[in-house]
Structure 1
Amino acid sequence: MTIDRLTDWVLAHPWPAAGITAAVLLVVAGVLWAIVRTARAVTLPPASAVAAVGALVCTVYTADTSWRFAAHQLGMRDLTERLIMFSAAEIALLACALMARANKAATATETEAGSPGVPGALVWVITGVQIIPAYSESGFVGGTVRAIIGPIMAGLLWHLAMGLEVRVVRPGAMSTGLPAMIARELRERLLSHLGLAVRDRTAEQITRDRWTAKAVDLAARLAPMKAGSRGHARLSRRLSVAVGRAQVGSHPEQRRALLQLLSARLHSGALADLDLPSPWELRAPGAPSGPVRPAPVVAYEQLREMPQLDAVTTVADAHPDLPSEQLRELLLDHGVVVSPAQVDMGRRLSASAQPSALAGASAAAQTLFAVHARWDGEDASDALGDDPDAPGADADADVPDAAADLALLPDARRVDAAHQAQHGRPAGLRALQSGLRIGQARAQRMRALLDAPKDS
């Protein structure tokens, strides 16, 4: 039935034609709906399976090239011989891919994806060798098509299908294979050569850094030249341009970098004159690496940093048999200026001047007092110091000495300030006794001096 006769029939019978058209549209819609529903229900294979299928097809494509090459170039005219020999490269490629996958799984760790080893490198060697038959059989144009779709695509797809790609197995891991290491090294060297080693910089900052390095180089070359010499004017103009491009005038950080780099460049010759210790010098573990300082120098510095009364006590402990006048002269020789009263006070407070029984009693009282302070959780100095009659108070009688009290006043202020900063209130009598190593009566006098107006 032609189109004209069909059109005449439709015009002659409009209602039957409309019914048939509606039925056909319903059937087509139902078929399309069934196809869409079936397609949605189908579970697609994983990406590795699809890559394996593609790699297999590309390997067969390569086998066709090998079949023709074996007959035309290798002289394999016998059909049986060609069937056995032509696919040696394809089978070797598949075997190397499987062994590379096994090596990668065996060497994988939590932080590294493993290395395919020698089989992984052989995959690409075989792929490169199979490009030769492609160009031999089909020339440049056809050989390029055969090489890309055949061995090259087969090698890439086997690489992905066998899980040899590090970024697929562990995105955060790095490959330890030799090709990957060489590629990373070449990439880093190229970026360093191009001046892009420092990442996360804007294009403007990269330009400023490049011209800053250029300005440093030009300034270092211009420094030893005399004004008016050959090339001096040209270098000056180039330096001016480089400084302007570096924008050091409007960026303080860039100007600071320029000056630091230029300073290091101009004074690089001073490196040869540095007095550095020999790395072959044997030292005891933990010994200072610098030159050994004499003991008198160390003692001089340590005594100068001590409070006066502590310095007197330290020297009196070290020289218990030394008279007071000689002890004072020794302190003056070490830079500690003290009065005779301070020397007498320090000798009385030194450990060598205290009886052994009194020292044992003091230690017992301190131990008992420390346990009591930890138990109650309150300030130990105020717990006993505010009560003059509290047990454990020092019963030593202090001879009133106004000059000695005034000499001790700076140390008392230091103890009071430390106690005020730590506890928020002035130091009590016990805190003054323990901090200044004095008795209760003298602690009361020092507390009175501390509470007195400063202008009195």
Structure 2
Amino acid sequence: MQTDRIMTWAGHHPEVAVPTAVAGALGVAVVVWLLQRRVSRALKGWTPAPAQRAGIAGILLATGLEADTAWRFAGNRLGISHPLERGLLFLVGETVLFTFALMARANLLNEEKRRAGAPGILVWVICGALAVPAISESGSVAAAWVRVLFGPVAAALLWHFLMGIELRSSLPSAQSMGTFSVLMRHLRERALSRFGVIEADRTAVDMARDRAVVRAAILSERYQTASGRRQARLLRRLRKALRTAGVAGDPGRREALLAEIATSRFAKDLGTTPVDSPWADTTAATPAPAAARTRPRPVSLPVPAQRELEADDEPRTLPANASTTHEPQGDRPMAVDTDSFFSTSDLTPQAAVETRAERERRQAEAQRRADDTYAKAVEVVVELVQQGAPLSGPQIAEQLPVGPRTVQRYIKRMREEGVLPQE
């Protein structure tokens, strides 16, 4: 073997072998020392948790078992006999597995993707490929199971959880948007809905009683059309369903049972029930009454009064920053009578609808401005808290279009919403 030849040559030439071995050992020690310093600097201030330490140890052991399998497979099956060549190539599968794991983690940390994507799938593909050498180098089924399970499979699982590739472990509230994840989520919801357990906030007793109410309504219909022994059997089942539903002591379920029976009994009347056409124009203007269509006769006014009236008839526009709602202006809110301002008594129905829409639009715009002001106040207050500055109403009001009192109300709201700690 190549190793025996090297040892024989070293025994015959000790003057060359010993310095070479010492220099090689020193070189390896220097490389290890440099790597240890680099890793220590990178992990400065980071203390791994016990679970992380155990995971790292498990990954090293699983990778070691993979390395043993790969070394044997490269020599026995791939015909790579040279030690240097085998040492450079036998960990190619493990390197590819680790690379895809890093790429999957990068995709998961991307705010736009939020899923491992193709690298996450390829991790398991490479894991399956690494099972082939483990099976090939095993002499029995049990040995193959051990090499596969505690080799590539264990390494892939530990990388999966330790690096945070499992979305539900790193972000419990997030949901994977991958095709397979979405498909499995829909299948799970459909299965739960089929068995009537889709609502997680209800107990099993409540769901059983609700199903018993529906079952009792169905049995009551069948009982009306049955006869003989079948009728007696349906009556026993109906009584059992009523006891399970608990309608005797629950008025709500009793009303639900009667509603189910009534809905089923009068189902034939559904097609003849009068309904409004969905294509009818409900906003179309209706003819105005005769009194409304009659215009008063013009009255002659003096010239100054006529000019004043004409000036009042000219359309007036509100300033861009004006508001029709009670939006805070400084410390005192400006009260506006929106009902009289948007009065629709002298308008046609079509104009009244348009006026109401305009009022709703203005109110929505005012609410949006108020929300923007509050959001800006939150940013200012959070910045002051981070700087350690006191929360002064006048100081904050200088940066906002509101007064100190409004700022105090904003701070109180932030404490109620949990943005700021309670006093």
Match of 1:108 in 2: 111
69, 89, 93: which is aligned to 2:93?
A: 89
Match of 1:233 in 2: 232
Number of residue pairs matched?
262
CA contact (8 A) 2:216 2:238 kept: yes
Single out whichever of 130-139 and 96-105 deviates more from structure 2: 130-139
Match of 2:192 in 1: 191
Distance apart, 1:114 and its partner CA: 0.9
TM-superposition CA deviations, 1:265-324 (whole Å, max 9, x none): 444444555666787x6x8xxx428xx79x56xx5xxx6xxxxxxxxxxx34534xxxxx
Match of 2:28 in 1: none
TM-superposition CA deviations, 1:41-90 (whole Å, max 9, x none): x9733566764553343233233334445566xx3244247656653432
Separation in 2, partners of 1:269, 1:69: 75
> Structure 2: 5+ residue runs without aligned partners?
1-44, 313-423
Match of 1:252 in 2: 251
Separation in 2, partners of 1:263, 1:65: 72
For the structure 1 residues 175 and 218, does the alpha-carbon distance in structure 2 shift closer, same or farther, using more than 3 Å as the test?
Answer: same
2:65 aligned with 1:65: no
Separation in 1, partners of 2:167, 2:209: 37
- Which amino acid is 1:318 matched to? R
Distance apart, 1:195 and its partner CA: 1.6
Match of 1:352 in 2: 296
Single out whichever of 243-252 and 125-134 deviates more from structure 2: 125-134
Distance apart, 1:221 and its partner CA: 3.8
- Which amino acid is 1:238 matched to? R
Match of 1:347 in 2: none
For the structure 1 residues 163 and 241, does the alpha-carbon distance in structure 2 shift closer, same or farther, using more than 3 Å as the test?
Answer: same
For the structure 1 residues 55 and 219, does the alpha-carbon distance in structure 2 shift closer, same or farther, using more than 3 Å as the test?
Answer: farther
CA contact (8 A) 1:222 1:232 kept: yes
With normalisation by structure 2, the TM-score equals 0.51
Please identify the structure whose Cα radius of gyration is greater.
1
315, 318, 343: which is aligned to 2:293?
A: 318
TM-superposition CA deviations, 1:110-157 (whole Å, max 9, x none): xxx711110011112222344455455264444333333222221121
Separation in 1, partners of 2:156, 2:53: 15
Q: Match of 1:174, SS? A: coil
For the structure 1 residues 193 and 131, does the alpha-carbon distance in structure 2 shift closer, same or farther, using more than 3 Å as the test?
Answer: farther
For the structure 1 residues 167 and 91, does the alpha-carbon distance in structure 2 shift closer, same or farther, using more than 3 Å as the test?
Answer: same
**Percent identical across equivalent pairs?**
36
- Which amino acid is 1:45 matched to? P
Q: Match of 1:188, SS? A: helix
Separation in 1, partners of 2:267, 2:74: 67
Matches within 5 A, 1:255-294: 255-273=254-272, 287-288=281-282
TM-superposition CA deviations, 1:78-108 (whole Å, max 9, x none): 4247656653432221121111122223x32
Separation in 1, partners of 2:123, 2:70: 17
- Which amino acid is 2:282 matched to? P
Q: Match of 1:352, SS? A: coil
CA contact (8 A) 2:124 2:156 kept: yes
- Which amino acid is 1:108 matched to? E
CA contact (8 A) 2:74 2:80 kept: no
For the structure 1 residues 78 and 185, does the alpha-carbon distance in structure 2 shift closer, same or farther, using more than 3 Å as the test?
Answer: same
For the structure 1 residues 258 and 88, does the alpha-carbon distance in structure 2 shift closer, same or farther, using more than 3 Å as the test?
Answer: farther
Match of 1:175 in 2: 176
CA contact (8 A) 1:103 1:117 kept: yes
For the structure 1 residues 354 and 115, does the alpha-carbon distance in structure 2 shift closer, same or farther, using more than 3 Å as the test?
Answer: same
- Which amino acid is 2:257 matched to? L
Distance apart, 1:247 and its partner CA: 0.4
CA contact (8 A) 1:49 1:161 kept: no
Distance apart, 1:244 and its partner CA: 0.9
Single out whichever of 149-158 and 60-69 deviates more from structure 2: 60-69
Separation in 2, partners of 1:160, 1:71: 33
> Structure 1: 5+ residue runs without aligned partners?
1-41, 304-314, 320-350, 368-456
2:119 aligned with 1:119: yes
Separation in 2, partners of 1:272, 1:68: 78
For the structure 1 residues 252 and 143, does the alpha-carbon distance in structure 2 shift closer, same or farther, using more than 3 Å as the test?
Answer: farther
Single out whichever of 55-64 and 82-91 deviates more from structure 2: 82-91
Matches within 5 A, 1:140-219: 140-219=141-220
CA contact (8 A) 2:100 2:122 kept: yes
* C-alpha RMSD over aligned residues: 4.0
Distance apart, 1:248 and its partner CA: 1.1
Match of 2:242 in 1: 243
For the structure 1 residues 257 and 128, does the alpha-carbon distance in structure 2 shift closer, same or farther, using more than 3 Å as the test?
Answer: farther
Match of 1:79 in 2: 81
- Which amino acid is 1:247 matched to? G
Q: Match of 1:357, SS? A: coil
Match of 2:58 in 1: 54
Separation in 2, partners of 1:130, 1:208: 53
For the structure 1 residues 237 and 132, does the alpha-carbon distance in structure 2 shift closer, same or farther, using more than 3 Å as the test?
Answer: farther
Q: Match of 2:99, SS? A: helix
For the structure 1 residues 150 and 231, does the alpha-carbon distance in structure 2 shift closer, same or farther, using more than 3 Å as the test?
Answer: same
Separation in 1, partners of 2:117, 2:59: 21
CA contact (8 A) 1:108 1:115 kept: no
42, 47, 55: which is aligned to 1:44?
A: 47
